[in-house]
Structure 1
């Protein structure tokens, strides 16, 4: 059998002879099994539809309780997705057209045709309704997805765009549809890029990659697109579907993840992993050009008392102020980082002699010893600073950091609020 499961048919017909003839015609079909239920008025049909599902409804427009096309309209409102085929004694083309326009899948005239015609009409109605349902779902997906989509013909002329595409591009449908697809116009990439795109598209049926595109407002932004060929039943290309992703937001998200992974969340300074990379890069660069680099290791004096007596919120404000003062005390080309707690570092990218770092160290010690005006009152702190220079005090990041750290502890032991060079032992400057 063509259909493994029987098709339930609701016949809405007040003429017993006509309904009986339909039952007989359908029972004679061997490739499909039809189970027929008959109701003689619209009210009975509504009740039957409320009790069970039917594969199709065969409807007479003229019933005891409803007349004409309003019968169809009332039934359509009740059946939802069930296909309806009108069977009428009225052989009127205009009525047939109106019936189809109002939701009927077919219009048959009683007495014209046999059981085979009814069978075909029922099967076609079911298939058309299934196709219509799929089209509605596809249309809903096309219009409601947050991914930009565009449909174009084989010449690259746009036939349709969805709302998400218009929102991303900041334009109206009338500015796009009927015109050449903007991303295929050679306004950013060179012509070789577009020639290669078309060649691969025609050869493989798809293309995916990043395209830099000029938006309506003149901005050039990256877009990730995928183009798929649409073919007819003979395998011939009839158009293309293009899916757009604005990677600007993705790149921002990636940048934010990088920032979170490499930046101290409290002060906005580079954290320890990024600091070590910056230090290694600086050491390599200075080694290549025969220059020297100095590192300041800064530790606050008295910060534990602030946290213990004033609370961590005040302590955080102090650390933010320390970060600001350190930035102001050094050159733009120098790097300031927070290693954690109340430990900071400063990389002086270019020094001619080790003692050239002395001027910066003096500024740092002086800046951090100035009063801190807080809501809780004036706080007095200072800083102990260790200074190490590459290559004299270490060739690698960790060695240089260790030397500066040791010098900082010597400054602590020497009385705090001062700086010490790594090669000068415990003698403070």
Structure 2
């Protein structure tokens, strides 16, 4: 399969089955966007109504004939089915269409394989890929040899029949899990090191293509890839920035979420997404101009709840950035309001970003309480830190050169202060 090949995108919708609050057209548009994220040329797209799914082919005979005709007429080499397709259904549909078939999980895994650039990201994607493929050995399986990114769902030179049995795949999965445990331990050490540094961490989360990377670049002056593509960012990036009242803040740009994220990827990327749970504050970036903005927001919250980032035991402060207001009509913009934890912005034009930065800073400071702290005469470094990062309300200098300060600090900053020596 050539890179940038022609594709047909199909959204199967069963009668009486409503998967989420999105409309069918919106879900089909997202599936097309996923295909284009790896530069496939979508030559035909349609919604297929299914009265009763066939165990052998998913689709009915007439539907298969119609799609096969569309594949032939457009010269497409790939059919993307935005849903779950069993191995047997996949094999039978490939024979009927005369083209390769992948389902939603396979497509997202292919995108992630294309995007992964760090060692950690590559390991995570390979693990998810093998876990997915382990259940699909009834069909031909491609090795990891390839002429481009991705993990072989789309094939390419060197494609061959299965030559590796389940035992070898299991052994590779075990090896990858051990390697990822090493990554997780390394990340833990990095987090401990950052906690020793006196800087709060702000994590940007959101649905894929909501504008996180564009906002990240504007807040930090970084140059993270920010294309108008789903999953433009895969590997997490951390950069320093400045907020009102804070001389330095660490911003974290994370992988975007998506509806029906494959379970293999949720598990494989847990180490990466753990960064969100360690943040002092979460900024949820929403594409307010998207017709399914509310559904996308709920998908993000579902993932965060699954990671236990937001639950009864951990309540990390969260601000919502309603992004892309520059794309709204005047009437729609008039209905968007700023609240204590919601700020409308345009990461592209910069409108509202200053207000968002002020809101983040105020939220970081709002959890603060007054602490009484005694400092010896030689602890000038610790004293300077308190004046820089806290609000010194009162100070008493004692005869021996020591001092007692009453300082307003957040719990996170108090913990950081205690690590300074």
TM-score (norm 1): 0.18
**Larger relative contact order (CA 8 Å, sep ≥ 6):** 2
